[in-house]
Amino acid sequence: MLSPTEENYIKSIFHLSEDGQKEVSTNTISDEMNTSAASVTDMIKKLALKKLLDYRKYKGVKITKKGKLEALRLIRKHRLWETFLVRKLNFSWDQVHDVAEQLEHINSPLLVSRLDEFLGFPTVDPHGDPIPGNDGKLPVTNRKSLAEMELCTMGTVVAVKDSSSLFLKYLDKIGAVIGSKIEVLDRVDYDGSLEIEIDKKSRVFVSRDVADNIMMV
């Protein structure tokens, strides 16, 4: 059994390592979690002892198979709860994150499976992110960011990388939500910003940063 704190570390490390592929440094983790590097060193030692991380002094950590499974279990719970909040309790997509951060630590396998069933076995959450199965398997997708799209091609918004309230409210404002069709009209090479057309109606400029956080298919 992991404490909520340990769970938060595992989840952050999983995300920072791009789903467990890359090594992650102590400072990268301390930045993400707003803690001191010293605290991170202590915790990664503990998680390494529990075989959730491979740790070599001064070399950062890599998440193990066991660690990945733990992370995916948490992500599954997080995304199921987000789906519940939006679909059943009428939360908007920018209101769910903080509550789901709390709910994901509730420990009850029965609750998770019943929630999954109650929601009709959803495959993606309200931000378009895939929901891992009970076995930790994630469906493979060939998504790319809006920033990577070619000029004059059209795509559909399927997910967002940043789930912060600020970003989601901005998307609501410009009318870019999941399912929106976007065409890239022009790209400014200087800063990577784009002119786009949303749903054949409105034309707006978005920054490189914004384009990086919108996932298309």
Partner DNA sequence: ATATTTTTTTAGACTAATCTAAATATTATC
Partner DNA sequence: GATAATATTTAGATTAGTCTAAAAAAATAT
Q: Summarize as ranges the residues that interact with its own copies (CB under 8 A).
A: 85, 88-91, 95, 98-99, 102-103, 106-108, 110-111, 114-115, 117-118
C-beta of 111 vs 151, nearer to its own copies: 111
Q: Which listed range, 23-31, 75-83, 121-129, 209-217, lies at the site for DNA (CB under 7 A)? A: 23-31
**Which span sits near DNA by CB under 7 A: 19-27, 66-74, 87-95, 98-106?**
19-27
* 29 versus 112: smaller Cβ distance to its own copies: 112
Chosen from DNA, its own copies, none, partner binding at 34 (C-beta under 5 to 8 Å by type)? DNA
In whole angstroms, the minimum distance from the beta carbon of 100 to its own copies comes to 10
CA–CA distance, 66 with 111 (Å, rounded to integer): 22
Phi and psi torsions of 192, nearest 5°: 75, 10
112 sits near DNA (criterion: CB under 7 A):
no
Instruction: Return the residues of window 33-92 that contact DNA according to CB under 7 A.
Output: 34-46, 55, 57-60
- CB 177 to its own copies: min, Å: 21
Q: Smaller CB distance to DNA: residue 105 or 181?
A: 105
Q: In this structure, how many other beta carbons lie within 10 angstroms of the beta carbon of residue 6?
A: 16
Task: Give the nearest distance from C-beta 126 to its own copies in angstroms.
Answer: 15
As beta bridge partners, residue 53 has 63
Q: Length of the chain, please? A: 217
d(C-alpha 81, C-alpha 83), whole Å: 5
Rule CB under 7 A: which residues touch DNA? 3, 5-6, 25-28, 34-46, 55, 57-60
